[in-house]
Amino acid sequence: MKKLLVLALSLAAAPFAASAGELSYTYIEAGYSESKAEDLTLDGFSVKGSLAFADNFYGAVNAHQNKYNGDNRVEPIELALGYNKTIGASKVDFVAEVGYLGFNSELGGEDFHNDGFRVGTGIRAAAGKHVELGAKVTYTEIENMDSLVGVNLNGQVKINKTWGVVAEYHFNEYNFLGTDVDTWNVGIRASF
């Protein structure tokens, strides 16, 4: 985890050109999702959306459905409110989010639902006309589970003003499971 934190801080400290592209906080996104914890692999899909309002605020929704061993599934959904502020004259934004997290799962034929919350802070940066990078540290609490700290690294390669290819990596340390969970998402984004 220390290596990931160093990488996230390196992204935050990297210089970005003043002629970089614009950051959009209004978009929809769909993609493939995969999570790994020791010998367990879950895969499925993710759907995300974000809508900017006022000058520096946005609302976001994020949903996944991952399955393993037949009918076992994990379906987290997050509803978040975010704040963004450009740092200086650059194309680097400070971001902060707070959100509700619903964690639905079906394990061994039994359904489970746990509620929680997540807070996070980090940066989003335009690293040129067609590249966007981001890093965020998160803190999550879900009922009947331990609290956990995570790292989120993401990027987008913009094909044009609307379309882009996105990739995202999440690292979470689940103390109640005694394991770390790595999650990858790869997909497409339409920005407006």
pLDDT in tens, 153-172: 999 999 999 999 999 999 98
Percent of the chain with pLDDT over 70: 87
Structural domains in the chain (count): 1
Tokens 């981001």, residue? 134
Report the CATH number at residue 89: 2.40.160.20
Cβ 180 vs Cβ 4: under 8 Å: no
Q: Give DSSP secondary structure letters for the chain.
A: -HHHHHHHHHHHHS---TTPPPP-S-EEEEEEEEEEETTEEEEEEEEEEEEEETTTEEEEEEEEEEEETTTEEEEEEEEEEEEEEE-TTSSEEEEEEEEEEEEEEEETTEEEEEEEEEEEEEEEEE-SSSEEEEEEEEEEEETTS--EEEEEEEEEEESSSSEEEEEEEEEEEETTTTEEEEEEEEEEEEE-
Is residue 175 predicted with pLDDT exceeding 50? Answer: yes
Q: What is the pTM of this model?
A: 0.83
- Cα-only R_g, the chain: 17
Q: From CA 14, how far away is CA 69, in angstroms rounded?
A: 42
Pick from 18-22, 86-90, 141-145: least confident: 18-22
pLDDT in tens, 34-92: 988 877 888 999 999 999 999 999 999 999 898 887 778 889 899 999 999 999 778 99
Q: Give the domain extent around 50.
A: 2-191
Cβ 164 vs Cβ 144: under 8 Å: no
